[in-house]
Amino acid sequence: MTVSLRLDPEQPSREAIEWAAGIIQQGGLVAFPTETVYGVGADALNAAAVNRIFDAKGRPSDNPLIVHVASRKMLDRLVARVPEKAERLMERFWPGPLTLVLERKADAASAAAAGLPTLAVRMPQNKIALELIRTANTPIAAPSANISGRPSPTRAEHVVSDLSGRIDLILDGGETRIGVESTVLDLTTDPAVVLRPGWITQEELAGVVGAVEAFATIRELMRSPGTRHRHYSPRARVVITETGNVAHIKETCLGSLGAGAVGLICHTPIDIVHHQLRSVVLDNNAESYARSIYDAMRELDSWGAQLIVIEAIAEEGAGTAVMDRIRRAAGEE
Ligand code: TXA
Ligand code: MG
């Protein structure tokens, strides 16, 4: 059993934050909310503690972690050089869901970097996260707080179900605001490359730093180790249907109902009533899908779905990141 502490996200109790910070300083693991998803954190400067994260998640050891900072001073302890583009992006998007890959100081956070000469860093926009980092007074390495390969956790209950007994404490700050992971931008190359699409779009980044390359080529996939592994998947098989195509959605669901329970995540209401069909209806926009898709996948999994049918949304704005995660869940990328 792992203790889960419920905190007021706007006014987290000092006592709870100090307790959590103490665990971090002693080399323990604490799960905490960010504005994107829950992370499971350790002192980024303590290699033994960071290695415990890889064990707890069953994470491949070649997949580096994001290091979370609460101040510019903390960032300067970690990276060799802050390019001008990074300055502009931090000014515009930090604290917020943007991770920057920068050149690492040779002696800083090498366990989190999985030995790479670069380091992924971000400043989260969440009071609990920021106060935890500040109080621990050390950068915190934190991947999403799920068992490797499973959907990222957007509620403390998801962390409990994946990591209870494997970590020391969970800070429960309620449902996360955004629900899809941060955008990962590599600034060690020119032009910069989006390694993982996220809430902050390529267009928004290009608006600040000029040319930004898209993520989806083999070469780029090879550069962000995490994007090579199967990701964000429920246990059930996932099939994607076109947006708004009622006939296609119905056919896909009905075609599988004989073989077992079917879950449906959609925005177009579908009039099939069947004891082996359960649907989660979301709004037809990136905000709604981002916030609820992982929760819906987990809910349909625990209900016993053998197949989850997901109706696509438009790939514009943050819809690109949402569809990237849905395709990965379906094993298409
Ligand atoms: O929103 C988020 O980013 C959440 C919250 C907790 O901050 N964190 C998160 O971490 O999603 P994780 O570990 O699940 O994903 C980190 C991604 C992986 O795809 C990893 O390969 C990539 O960032 N990454 C980390 N360090 C890197 C590096 N030095 N170079 C390239 N990619 C890196
Ligand atoms: Mg993850």
- Considering the entire predicted model, what is its pTM? 0.95
Query: Lowest-pLDDT range, 2-11, 185-194, 215-224?
Result: 215-224
324 contact partners, CB below 8 Å, separation of at least 6: 196, 197, 333
Task: Kindly list the protein residues that place their beta carbon closer than 5 angstroms to ligand 2, a single-atom ion.
Answer: 144
In the predicted model, what is the mean pLDDT of the chain?
A: 94
Question: Average pLDDT, stretch 324-328?
Answer: 95
- Secondary structure of residue 156 in the 3-state scheme: helix
- Residue to mutate, 146, 158, 181, ligand 1, most ligand atoms under 8 Å from C-beta: 181
Asked whether the beta carbons of 262 and 277 are under 8 A apart, the reply is yes
* Among 65, 110, 178, residue to substitute to test ligand 1 (most atoms within 8 Å of Cβ): 65
Least confident of 138-142, 172-176, 270-274: 270-274
274 class by beta-carbon count within 10 Å (0-12 exposed, 13-18 middle, 19+ buried): exposed
Whether the upstream peptide bond of residue 191 has omega within 30° of 0, thus cis, is: yes
pLDDT attached to residue 230: 61
Decide if pLDDT at 155 tops 90: yes
Going from the Cα of 64 to the center of ligand 1, the distance in angstroms, rounded, reads: 7
Query: What would the pLDDT profile of 130-140 be if each residue is shown by its tens digit?
Result: 999 999 999 99
Whether ligand 1 lies within 6 angstroms of the CB of 146 is answered as: no
Residue 219 has pLDDT above 60, yes or no: no
- Taking the C-alpha atoms of residue 51 and residue 152, their distance in angstroms, rounded to an integer, is 20
Whether 227 lines ligand 1, by a CB cut-off of 6 Å, is yes
Rounded to the nearest angstrom, the distance between the alpha carbon of 66 and the centre of ligand 1 is 5
